[in-house]
Chains A and B, each alone.
Chain A
Amino acid sequence: MPESTPLILAIETSNPSMGAPSVALGLRIPGGVQTLASQTLAKSVRHSDDLMPAIARLFEGEDRGRLGRVLVSAGPGGFTALRVAIATAKMLGEILGPELVAVPSALVVADALERADAPTLVCLASKGQTTFGVRFDSAAWTDQPRVLGILDASGLEGADVRTIAGDEHLPTAIRERAGELGIRIVEPTLSAGALLRVGHALPATDPLELAPIYPREPEAVRKWRELHG
């Protein structure tokens, strides 16, 4: 591979409950992408401290000027981890000039799912009695996922899915309703390698528009509105 071939950096820190946060370096090859190296970050809340050191380790022996694309898993997920990843990507883009790509995390989850199990509801950012759902069907798969947004157990009625990809935080009521409807629950996984595969060919995002996907308003605001109307 010529040394001038642009490198692709993938940053997946969106949902530590679906796999340890990780970064990967790859490059495009005919028909896909090749992973050159990857680094796993600490799964603790301090993984943010390790993001930039891990990226630096990935580039040991490489020219950082070869960075041509940065893919960021944009959530929904942990707000802080998403902001750390996106702030990092923005500054890499500003100085080194790579394209930036915001990749919805549901697409990254879908990469590891069995298409034969579709239609599948990928559930992210579960909180209280609700989750953020994205529906994938076998025909369109990742080309045309349907964002259902925030839903509770009653939202399963019209979702028309065979499987749910939901982590340990998936609300109990949704798990129980899924059981009643005969919907199987599978474990979702995320990795920087999957992000490379899913995002390497997606269109670039304007750096000023690059932002985490926030499914809900801040909790403090919600409580404030409850108190003050």
Chain B
Amino acid sequence: MLVLGIETSCDETAAAVVDGGLSVRSSVVASQEDLHREYGGVVPEIASRAHEKAILPVVREAITRAGIVHADIDAVAVGHRPGLIGSLLVGVSAAKALAWSLGKPLIGVDHVHAHLHAAFLGATREQLDAAFPALGLVVSGGHTSMYRVESPTGLTRLGATIDDAVGEAYDKVATILGLDYPGGPALDRMAQEAGADDRGHDFPISRLGKGSLDFSFSGLKTAVLYAVRGVPGRDEPRDESSLSDQQRRDIAASFQRAASEAVRLKLGRAIAHVPGCRSLIVGGGVSANSRLRAEAGAFAGKHGLALRLPEMAYCIDNAAMIAGLGAVLIEQGETSGLGLSPVPTTAC
């Protein structure tokens, strides 16, 4: 089954063709990073305008790169939640018109759930079937949550962030350190530079009470802010320009260690809630982070779990994960009508 996927939930316009839910025939992503850089974050109206402009060439390129013609498409999948409503509307409208024009089924896909499916793109059906039950972790700029994953389409949320998403904390700390937007990848690179001391600062690791499976990163972010600018009422105010390169590296590495340890701590608590757990599945933009990938690997090894991490290309927002999960849902008999609505929140 060839599924055309469309993704426009935030600031990437993406289309992809995926065969059988797992084999990526094409994946095209038009990033809006340059449009938002000046503002230090995503401007929703700019994002919506850019999606409308990019959607046609991106869909065309995905079909061309897949080496197929329109008639080969068996279904259309679209990320319809969660996201910026104006951005989602462009993708949902385009997908509805494509599905109706082709006379093929339409399926709405939850973007957060699709990030978990991204870890199976390129896998075999046997690998997919053998992965469950699993512990799922989605870490991105908008989401930080853990799931008991019973099947490719069945999952139960175990915990989520109560304030900032981990990727949001990365971007904010990067801004505090004066790094370019988007700061997460730049911060990761800085933390890996030679001489960076991840014990240079003892930043707090949120626990949120014994047994809590939720996350909190606002305290960690504030601790970094105070380390850079001084504690209000105690220290002389300063800014990031007063930091030496070594101090920046130490703060970046120490922050990254604290963030990763917070995630590892909660994974350790959550695994008891997944009886017979076979795999750790990680998805989302922060799954590209080197330290988090290493921590996930160590955790999986310690608990005898298979580790499913997305290829780097599928860590960021992409449409291959939408098409892939869409195919699995359609195989189970699910479809959406032409009245499909975009929804700002996740159902997961």
Q: From DSSP, what is the main secondary structure of chain B's interface residues? A: helix
Q: Which residue of A lies closest to B47 (CB)?
A: A218
How far apart are B175's CB and chain A's nearest CB, in angstroms? Answer: 14
**Interface pairs (11), CB distance under 8 Å:** A48-B89, A49-B340, A52-B339, A53-B338, A83-B48, A83-B51, A83-B93, A88-B94, A91-B56, A91-B94, A94-B60
Name which of A154-162, A187-195, A207-215 contacts chain B: A207-215
Collect the chain B residues with CB atoms within 8 Å of residue A218's CB. 43, 45-46, 49
Q: Is A69 an interface residue (CB 8 A)?
A: no
Partner of B101, one of A53, A92, A212: A92
Contact of A96 among B49, B101, B339 (CB under 8 A): B101
Most buried by A among B60, B86, B100, B102: B100
Query: Is A51 positioned at the interface, with any CB of B under 8 Å from its CB?
Result: yes
- The range of chain B's interface size is 20 to 34
- Nearest-CB distance from B46 to chain A (Å)? 6
Residues of chain A touching chain B, judged by Cβ–Cβ distance below 8 Å, are 46, 48-53, 55-56, 64, 79-80, 83-84, 86-92, 94-96, 207-208, 211-212, 214, 218-221, 224
Whether A49 contacts B339 by the Cβ 8 Å rule is yes
CB-CB contacts below 8 Å: B14-45 with A: 39, 43-45
Evaluate contact between A46 and B56: CB separation under 8 angstroms. Answer: no
CB distance from B301 to the nearest CB of A (A): 46
Q: How far is the CB of B60 from chain A (nearest CB, A)?
A: 7
Q: Is the CB of B46 within 8 A of A221?
A: yes
B328 vs chain A, min Cβ distance (A): 24
Binary contact track B326-348/A, C-beta < 8 Å → 1, others 0: 00000000000111110000000
Cβ of B62 to closest chain A Cβ, rounded Å: 12
Given A95-B102, A218-B43, A221-B46: A90 and B55 interface contact (C-beta under 8 Å): yes
